[in-house]
Structure 1
Amino acid sequence: MPVNLRDNAVFADIEFHPRLLAGLEQLEITQPTEVQALMLPLALAGRDVQVCAETGSGKTLAYLLPIMEKLLANAAPASATRALVLVPTRELARQVFKTAQLFCDLNSLNVGLLTGGDEFKYQAAVLRKNPEIVVSTPGRLVDHLKRGSAELKDLEFLVLDEADRMLDMGFAEDMEMIVGRSKKERQTFMLSATLRHEGIGRIARSMLNNPESLTTRTVQDQHEFIRQQRILADDNAHKDRLLVWLLANETYDKAIIFVNKRTEVDRLNTFLRRHRNGIAMLHGDMTQDERNYVMQSLREGKRNILVATDVAARGLDVDGMDLVINYDLARKGDEYVHRIGRTGRAGNSGLAISLIAPHEWNLKAAIERYLQQQMEERTIAELKGNYRGPKKVKASGKAAGKKKPKSNTKTAKSTGKPLAKKSDKKKSGPRPSRPQPRAGTLMDSEGFAPVKRRKPDAS
Structure 2
Amino acid sequence: MFTELGLDERLIKALDAQSITDPTQVQNAAIPAALAGKDLLVMSETGSGKTLAFLLPLAQKLLNNDNRNTGTLALILAPTRELAKQILKEAKAALKFTHLKVGIVSGGDDYKFQAAQLRKNPEILIATPGRLLEHFNRNLPAMDDLQVLILDEADRMLDMGFHDDMVSICNKLAATRSTWLFSATLSHMGFNTLAKELTREPEKINLSSGRESQANIRQQVILSDGANHKQKTITQLLKTLSYEQALVFTNTRTQVDHLCQYLRAQEIKTGAIHGEMAQEDRNKVMELMRKGHVQVLVATDVAARGIDIGGIELVINYDMARNGDDYTHRIGRTGRAGAEGTAISFITPQEWNLKAGVERYLSTRFEQIEIPGFESRYKGPEKIKASGKAGGPKKADKKAAKERAAKKAAKDNKPKLRERDQKNIGKRRKPSAVQLGDGFAPPTGIKKKGPGVDED
TM-score normalised according to structure 2 size: 0.85
Offset of residue 219 of structure 1: 2.5
CA contact (8 A) 1:231 1:378 kept: yes
Q: What do residues 412-444 of structure 1 show as CA deviations (whole Å, max 9, x unaligned)?
A: 63999xxxxxxxxxxxxxxxxxxxxxxxxxxxx
CA contact (8 A) 2:79 2:129 kept: yes
1:352 aligns with: 343
Write the letter of the residue equivalent to 1:413: R
Q: What do residues 87-135 of structure 1 show as CA deviations (whole Å, max 9, x unaligned)?
A: 1111100000111122334211111111100121111001000001011
Q: 1:97 aligns with which of 88, 92, 96?
A: 88
1:208 aligns with: 199
Write the letter of the residue equivalent to 2:311: G
Q: Could you say which structure has the higher helix fraction?
A: 2
Q: Which deviates further from its counterpart, 24-33 or 72-81?
A: 72-81
1:333 aligns with: 324
1:126 paired to 2:111: no
Q: Provide the C-alpha distance between the structure 2 equivalents of 1:139 and 1:113, rounded to a whole number of angstroms.
A: 13
Alignment of 1:378-417 (within 5 A): 378-392=369-383, 399=405, 401-402=407-408, 413=420
1:63 paired to 2:63: no
Cα RMSD, aligned residues only: 2.2
Q: Provide the C-alpha distance between the structure 1 equivalents of 2:343 and 2:217, rounded to a whole number of angstroms.
A: 7
Q: 1:317 aligns with which of 301, 308, 317?
A: 308
Consecutive unaligned residues in structure 2, runs of 5 or more: 387-400, 424-456
- In structure 2, relative to structure 1, the CA distance for the partners of 1:30 and 1:105 (3 Å cut) is closer
Consecutive unaligned residues in structure 1, runs of 5 or more: 1-9, 417-459
Offset of residue 150 of structure 1: 4.9
Offset of residue 296 of structure 1: 1.2
Alignment of 1:8-407 (within 5 A): 10-392=1-383, 399=405, 401-402=407-408
Write the letter of the residue equivalent to 1:334: D
Number of residue pairs matched? 407
Q: Provide the C-alpha distance between the structure 1 equivalents of 2:52 and 2:143, rounded to a whole number of angstroms.
A: 23
3-state SS, counterpart of residue 392 of structure 1: helix
- In structure 2, relative to structure 1, the CA distance for the partners of 1:34 and 1:400 (3 Å cut) is farther
Q: Provide the C-alpha distance between the structure 2 equivalents of 1:110 and 1:397, rounded to a whole number of angstroms.
A: 77
TM-score normalised according to structure 1 size: 0.85
Offset of residue 396 of structure 1: 9.7
Offset of residue 179 of structure 1: 1.2
Q: Which deviates further from its counterpart, 59-68 or 146-155?
A: 146-155
Q: Provide the C-alpha distance between the structure 2 equivalents of 1:406 and 1:347, rounded to a whole number of angstroms.
A: 64
3-state SS, counterpart of residue 275 of structure 2: coil
Offset of residue 303 of structure 1: 1.1
3-state SS, counterpart of residue 383 of structure 1: coil
Q: Provide the C-alpha distance between the structure 2 equivalents of 1:366 and 1:41, rounded to a whole number of angstroms.
A: 37
Offset of residue 218 of structure 1: 2.1
Q: Provide the C-alpha distance between the structure 2 equivalents of 1:65 and 1:357, rounded to a whole number of angstroms.
A: 45
Q: Provide the C-alpha distance between the structure 2 equivalents of 1:99 and 1:410, rounded to a whole number of angstroms.
A: 85
Q: What do residues 218-250 of structure 1 show as CA deviations (whole Å, max 9, x unaligned)?
A: 233341110000010000100001100110111
Q: Provide the C-alpha distance between the structure 1 equivalents of 2:237 and 2:183, rounded to a whole number of angstroms.
A: 31
3-state SS, counterpart of residue 181 of structure 1: coil
- In structure 2, relative to structure 1, the CA distance for the partners of 1:400 and 1:41 (3 Å cut) is farther
- In structure 2, relative to structure 1, the CA distance for the partners of 1:410 and 1:91 (3 Å cut) is farther
- In structure 2, relative to structure 1, the CA distance for the partners of 1:255 and 1:400 (3 Å cut) is farther
Q: What do residues 57-88 of structure 1 show as CA deviations (whole Å, max 9, x unaligned)?
A: 00000011111111111133222211011111
CA contact (8 A) 1:225 1:344 kept: yes
Q: Which deviates further from its counterpart, 236-245 or 209-218?
A: 209-218
**Structure with the greater alpha carbon radius of gyration:** 2
Q: Which deviates further from its counterpart, 54-63 or 272-281?
A: 272-281
Offset of residue 401 of structure 1: 4.5
Offset of residue 316 of structure 1: 1.0
3-state SS, counterpart of residue 381 of structure 1: coil
Q: Which deviates further from its counterpart, 323-332 or 199-208?
A: 199-208
